[in-house]
């Protein structure tokens, strides 16, 4: 196995890609970038909708940097891209948060269409999901149908609120409108998944790095 080929951006200690006049590690994607890949990306950015989103995203970042909450950023992004009808794809466990967000959107003159994850009310086992998965709740999450119904409603921008891992992936795949995420579900950390990263070398050390836990036990 060629270890150099396995290295990528997370293995870099320089972050020199932020600067034009710096050197890069030999494994750096920037240093090894093929002109055809860069040109392919540039062509995509030049497409009308992508160009508008790129400009709007940069403006929102600049104007609201460390000042706007993500709720405010989403509304400003929607305004800049001309999105008026906002779709909400939410987990049933975060219906309260979805209602608050919808209330905020409506107070700011946006139209709202929300589809909850349990739409259609079908049992998990009805589509081949193992029966034991119904132990934590019999009804399947339905992200593909959520996307379909929001597509049918003609939403301009869709916002994910707490869809499960994987269900969010399917929603992103089938949504016709651009998608952004307001809440990322993490049942253990109160929907603050980055907390697990911040504690990866302390409280969660044994859970995330089992080999280190074994070493620790051996030293006792």
Residue 151 in tokens: 């597509």
Distance of alpha carbon 26 from alpha carbon 38, whole angstroms? 18
- Considering the entire predicted model, what is its pTM? 0.91
Q: Is a pLDDT exceeding 80 seen at residue 5?
A: no
pLDDT (average), residues 89-101: 98
Distance of alpha carbon 110 from alpha carbon 103, whole angstroms? 10
Least confident of 44-48, 52-56, 206-210: 206-210
pLDDT (average), residues 147-174: 98
| Helix, strand, coil fractions of the chain, as percent rounded to 5 | 50, 10, 35
Return the pLDDT at 23. Answer: 82
Return the pLDDT at 1. Answer: 45
Residues 6+ apart with CB under 8 A from 219: none
DSSP per-residue letters across 8-24 = -GGG-S--GGG-SS---
pLDDT (average), residues 17-46: 88
- Domain positions in the chain are 24-67, 69-185
Q: Is a pLDDT exceeding 90 seen at residue 217?
A: no
Q: Express each pLDDT in 182-193 by its tens digit.
A: 999 999 999 999
pLDDT (average), residues 63-70: 98
**Average pLDDT score over the chain:** 93
Q: Is a pLDDT exceeding 80 seen at residue 19?
A: no
Domain 69-185 top-level CATH class: alpha beta
Distance of alpha carbon 138 from alpha carbon 27, whole angstroms? 48
């Amino acid at each position: 196995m060629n270890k150099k080929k396995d290295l990528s951006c997370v293995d870099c200690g320089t972050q020199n890609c932020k600067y034009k006049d710096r050197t890069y590690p030999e494994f750096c994607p920037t240093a090894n970038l093929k002109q055809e890949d860069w040109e392919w990306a540039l062509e995509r950015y030049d497409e009308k909708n992508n160009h508008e989103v790129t400009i709007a995203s940069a403006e929102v970042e600049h104007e609201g940097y460390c000042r706007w909450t993500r709720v405010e950023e989403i509304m400003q992004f929607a305004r800049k891209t001309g999105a008026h009808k906002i779709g909400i794809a939410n987990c049933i466990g975060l219906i309260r948060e979805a209602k608050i967000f919808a209330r905020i959107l409506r107070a700011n003159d946006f139209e709202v269409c929300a589809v909850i994850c349990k739409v259609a009310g079908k049992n998990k086992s009805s589509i081949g999901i193992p029966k034991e998965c119904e132990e934590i709740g019999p009804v399947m999450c339905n992200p593909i149908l959520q996307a379909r119904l929001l597509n049918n409603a003609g939403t301009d921008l869709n916002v994910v609120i707490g869809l499960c891992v994987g269900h969010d992936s399917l929603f992103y795949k089938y949504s016709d409108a651009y998608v952004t995420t307001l809440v990322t579900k993490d049942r253990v950390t109160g929907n603050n998944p980055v907390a697990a990263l911040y504690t990866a070398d302390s409280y969660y050390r044994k859970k995330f790095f089992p080999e280190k836990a074994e070493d620790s036990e051996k030293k006792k």
